[in-house]
Structure 1
Amino acid sequence: MSNSILSARMTDAHRELGERARAYFTPRWLEQWRAAPGGPLRKDVWPELAERGFLGVSLPREHGGQGLGLLGALVVGEALAQVGDSGVALGMHVHNEVAGEWLTSAADPTLRERYLPKLLSGELLACQCDTDPSAQEPTTAVRDGDRLILRGQKKFVVNGAQADLCFVSARLDGQPAVVVVEKDAPGVRVTHAYDKLGTRSIDSALLEFDDVEVPADRVVARSGVSQLMRWNRVMSRMRFLIAVDAWLIHRMLLTHIVDYSTNRELGGRALSAWPINAHALARARADQELMEAGITDGYLRLTEGGSTVPEIAELKWFCVERATELASLSTDLEGGAGYMWDSVALRAHAQLRGLRMSGGSQTTMLTIANHSMACRAELGDQDRAGVA
């Protein structure tokens, strides 16, 4: 983390973690751990990641984590950017930050004691199941004595094909809830593993829950203000980390395309010297600085308090959108090479397509921001009316 504000907060433990992670997470490492060329990670990578100290980095020490907080997750994320496939980062965000947060903040300590140690050891792999086929086909949980009967489908589940533990968003008693479901429970099926453009180092799958019986105490979050606050905290952390992933891709791409266009000539002068290209690259430099400022602001909001949901949604939208624009520009500047799969810019573009949908689509991010602006405007009108 090159930002002066964030780097000043790093401890010796953060720096040592960064050195180990940078040495470990390399493109060669990724190819060694894939189940097949260009495919997802093998299941046995997760115990190895735990042994190397890369699971539970941000979680509290009293729950078995390393206590390095969100900054620790950023340090690992920066090292993961080296592997050239953002899927690994997405998979670890879900496992560490989403599932880990649900369990460390669970009101029932028996859930934490039952599952968290196995997540931290890599024995269990977690997924978060959010996306229903449509608003008219919600996943439901119905009470039946001391059990819940879960029914529905979840699309585009990161880690879904290999996960052992599913955190499923469902309608329970007509209200939103998150239910822990063991993957080997009768009625849980992986019905499709998607073939993706980017983020291929982690699987995404369609899961079906066909009258799955779950003990009633497996609810980690339910309706109410407390549940809403926890949900917002979990999703804002996920979106923040995705924004950082996009910023890291943008940073890599900017370095690459500036070097490429400076050394590539057209009409007797460097590509970067043509005014239209010079202006576009100048904007990309400005975007990089704006992203970094936004990431610092988002980090402080998440760790020191303040409004987070709309601001982090806006940050995720901005970072992913601007990185996508730079990837498109870079493929154009690379000319014919930008159409080839070994193009740095084209591969980055593929990764960004995955980031656009993860943690909520870009359209969802704009909707959250617009709702926030409308609410603020309405409150402002009420305040002015009260003053009048």
Structure 2
Amino acid sequence: MSIMNSLRPGGRHGLSSRETRDPIGLAVAAVNRLAQSDLIDRVGLRKQTEQVVYSTTRNGFRVATAAGRQFARAGRRTAGARPASAESRGVFDLTPTEDEGMLVDVVRELAAEVLRPAASEADEACAAPAEVLAAAQEVGLPGLGVPEELGGIMEERSAMAGTLVAEALAQGDMGLAVAALAPGAVATAIGLWGTEAQQQTYLPAFTGSDVPAAALTIAEPTVLFDPFVLATTALRDGDGFVLDGVKSAVVRGADAELFVVAAMLDGTPALFLVESGTDGLAVEADPSMGVRAAGLARLHLTGVRLGADALLGDTDGTAYAECVRLSRLAWCALAVGTGQAVLDYVKDYVNEREAFGEPISHRQSVAFMVADIAIEVQAMRLLTWKAASRATRGQDFAREVALARQLCTEKGMRIGLDGVQLLGGHGFVKEHPVERWYRDLRAVGVMEGVVIV
């Protein structure tokens, strides 16, 4: 069923009067505008324009960051707000709510009809097509973590909704999913930990029609990177700070207009808001083995001076620790979605591919391998959803997200490897997407930051 048909009156996603007033219902309704546009028709049919990250990938030189917009310091008159935690239903039930289910249906169709066809070229170009990013914006993904009082679409905090969306997008392509979710990660961070002035200054840009490229950057190009022991430093300088260091795996770094940068402050990791027009910033390409469509770059900070209002959250590391956990939860969701894509693809392949006069799925070794993938995907999903459910209710989820990350890291790589193995020689060529999913799944255990839910 296409997105267009699913939103027609009387269809299974036809919006009732209650749903059109509901924040998530509004996000679903936004897809109607997307379906009526020509974005979907253009994806995959038009050669995408070279972007700065692609140029630097080819040439390897360092360039200045994008000239960012002037964020309105006066802000809005709307008071700041924190998203409220969801109430517990009193039972262990991970079933998505009706609204979450509606949202996921729409995002899953977006992934199938927009992300999947564009994934191969985006991976080769190391850049997400503008059409894909515009489609994600039309659905309202950047505002998913923004409180309704500040123009977002959520009445209460919903790490569960963010997890479900990340999983659904990754079934299309992990790299494009990361590129589409990156601005929303910055908006979510500001919504969770920003001061009233920071929310009024930056959040309106993420709920409007022209959402800025933005990136959360924690990772650094060091061996055995530990997110709680950073080489990037923030030194106090009068009433402000001076940042120095290098950050890696910065999503759409050459285009980003706002960064949330992790740095050590007085021996404790902290988060800082850095606009791209700030002196001392430079960016260069950081192409990787996987997640290439996200347009990864390195951000160089040399004597970057920030005001006291640039600090995001506290100085005791509490907000930063939660940021790391929410990021790891997001990567688990991406692993589940990509693992599901591998399962769906190889299941059809082994049933259709014949050898010695019968489908290769009739071989026990093949059937057992597919069954193992199915079991592992479901186990990954269960642990990830449990951690997301606790985060949504404001409960401690450190243990749950640690277990989920360990399982998704280990089994995610195994699923990618088995997927390539099941396709034999076809698993090694780019004609089939499994080799790209294998490369993407290897990122789950090494990527820190980038996206949060």
TM-score (norm 1): 0.79
**Residue deviations 1:109-142, cap 9 Å, x none?**
1111111111333432221222234479821222
The residue that corresponds to 1:296 in the other structure is: 385
| Residues 35 and 328 (structure 1), Cα distance of their counterparts in 2 relative to 1, 3 Å cut | closer
Q: Distance in 1 between matches of 2:407 and 2:192?
A: 30
Q: Distance in 2 between matches of 1:137 and 1:312?
A: 21
Q: Does 1:203 align with 2:292?
A: no
- Greater helix share, structure number: 1
**Residue deviations 1:60-98, cap 9 Å, x none?**
212221116233324433442343x2122223443223x
The residue that corresponds to 2:103 in the other structure is: 17
Q: Does 1:286 align with 2:372?
A: no
Q: Does 1:232 align with 2:321?
A: yes
The residue that corresponds to 2:190 in the other structure is: 103
- Please say if residues 242 and 305 of structure 2, whose CA atoms lie closer than 8 Å, have aligned partners that are also in contact: yes
Superposition map of 1:51-66 within 5 A: 51-66=138-153
Q: Which moved more, 1:200-209 or 1:320-329?
A: 320-329
Q: Does 1:88 align with 2:141?
A: no
User: How much has 1:315 moved relative to structure 2?
Assistant: 0.7
Amino acid aligned to 1:130: I
Amino acid aligned to 1:215: G
Amino acid aligned to 1:275: Q
Q: Does 1:147 align with 2:240?
A: yes
Higher relative contact order, structure no. (Cα contacts within 8 Å, ≥ 6 residues apart): 2
Q: Distance in 1 between matches of 2:139 and 2:333?
A: 23
Q: Find the partner of 2:263 among 166, 170, 177.
A: 170
Amino acid aligned to 1:89: A
Q: Which moved more, 1:64-73 or 1:269-278?
A: 269-278
Q: Distance in 2 between matches of 1:283 and 1:36?
A: 28
Q: Distance in 2 between matches of 1:202 and 1:268?
A: 42
The residue that corresponds to 1:127 in the other structure is: 215
Gaps of 5+ in 1: 362-388
**Residue deviations 1:289-311, cap 9 Å, x none?**
32232133222221235442232
**Residue deviations 1:352-382, cap 9 Å, x none?**
1233322379xxxxxxxxxxxxxxxxxxxxx
Q: Find the partner of 1:337 among 414, 426, 439.
A: 426
Q: Distance in 2 between matches of 1:254 and 1:45?
A: 24
The residue that corresponds to 1:189 in the other structure is: 282
- Please say if residues 46 and 123 of structure 1, whose CA atoms lie closer than 8 Å, have aligned partners that are also in contact: no
Q: SS of 2:383's equivalent?
A: helix
- Please say if residues 5 and 296 of structure 1, whose CA atoms lie closer than 8 Å, have aligned partners that are also in contact: no
The residue that corresponds to 2:435 in the other structure is: 346
Q: Distance in 2 between matches of 1:276 and 1:82?
A: 26
Q: Does 1:217 align with 2:305?
A: no
Q: SS of 1:201's equivalent?
A: helix
Q: Which moved more, 1:340-349 or 1:350-359?
A: 350-359
Q: SS of 1:357's equivalent?
A: coil
| Residues 159 and 335 (structure 1), Cα distance of their counterparts in 2 relative to 1, 3 Å cut | same
Q: Distance in 1 between matches of 2:202 and 2:101?
A: 29
The residue that corresponds to 2:55 in the other structure is: none
Q: Distance in 1 between matches of 2:445 and 2:241?
A: 34
- Please say if residues 93 and 241 of structure 1, whose CA atoms lie closer than 8 Å, have aligned partners that are also in contact: no
Q: Does 1:112 align with 2:188?
A: no
Amino acid aligned to 2:331: I
| Residues 44 and 180 (structure 1), Cα distance of their counterparts in 2 relative to 1, 3 Å cut | farther
- Please say if residues 260 and 273 of structure 2, whose CA atoms lie closer than 8 Å, have aligned partners that are also in contact: yes
Q: Identity of aligned pairs, percent?
A: 25
- Please say if residues 251 and 288 of structure 1, whose CA atoms lie closer than 8 Å, have aligned partners that are also in contact: yes
| Residues 154 and 29 (structure 1), Cα distance of their counterparts in 2 relative to 1, 3 Å cut | closer
| Residues 117 and 47 (structure 1), Cα distance of their counterparts in 2 relative to 1, 3 Å cut | farther
The residue that corresponds to 1:356 in the other structure is: 445
Q: Distance in 2 between matches of 1:343 and 1:36?
A: 13
Amino acid aligned to 2:152: G
- Please say if residues 327 and 345 of structure 1, whose CA atoms lie closer than 8 Å, have aligned partners that are also in contact: yes
User: How much has 1:178 moved relative to structure 2?
Assistant: 1.1
User: How much has 1:32 moved relative to structure 2?
Assistant: 6.7
**Residue deviations 1:1-22, cap 9 Å, x none?**
xxx94445232xx344344434
Alignment: residue pair count: 350
Amino acid aligned to 1:276: S
- Please say if residues 124 and 293 of structure 2, whose CA atoms lie closer than 8 Å, have aligned partners that are also in contact: no
Q: SS of 1:198's equivalent?
A: coil
Q: Distance in 2 between matches of 1:139 and 1:203?
A: 22
Q: SS of 1:40's equivalent?
A: coil
Q: Distance in 1 between matches of 2:310 and 2:410?
A: 38
Superposition map of 1:310-329 within 5 A: 310-329=399-418
| Residues 273 and 19 (structure 1), Cα distance of their counterparts in 2 relative to 1, 3 Å cut | closer
**Residue deviations 1:309-355, cap 9 Å, x none?**
23212212312422321221222221211111122321211221233
- Please say if residues 239 and 312 of structure 1, whose CA atoms lie closer than 8 Å, have aligned partners that are also in contact: yes
| Residues 66 and 333 (structure 1), Cα distance of their counterparts in 2 relative to 1, 3 Å cut | same
User: How much has 1:170 moved relative to structure 2?
Assistant: 1.3
Amino acid aligned to 2:305: E
Q: Distance in 2 between matches of 1:92 and 1:150?
A: 27
The residue that corresponds to 1:257 in the other structure is: 346
TM-score (norm 2): 0.69
Q: Which moved more, 1:104-113 or 1:49-58?
A: 49-58
Q: SS of 2:417's equivalent?
A: helix
Amino acid aligned to 1:235: V
Q: Distance in 2 between matches of 1:317 and 1:161?
A: 32
Amino acid aligned to 2:233: T
**Residue deviations 1:162-207, cap 9 Å, x none?**
21111111122333221111111111010x2122333222111111
- Please say if residues 290 and 440 of structure 2, whose CA atoms lie closer than 8 Å, have aligned partners that are also in contact: yes
Q: Does 1:50 align with 2:137?
A: yes
Q: Distance in 2 between matches of 1:330 and 1:78?
A: 18
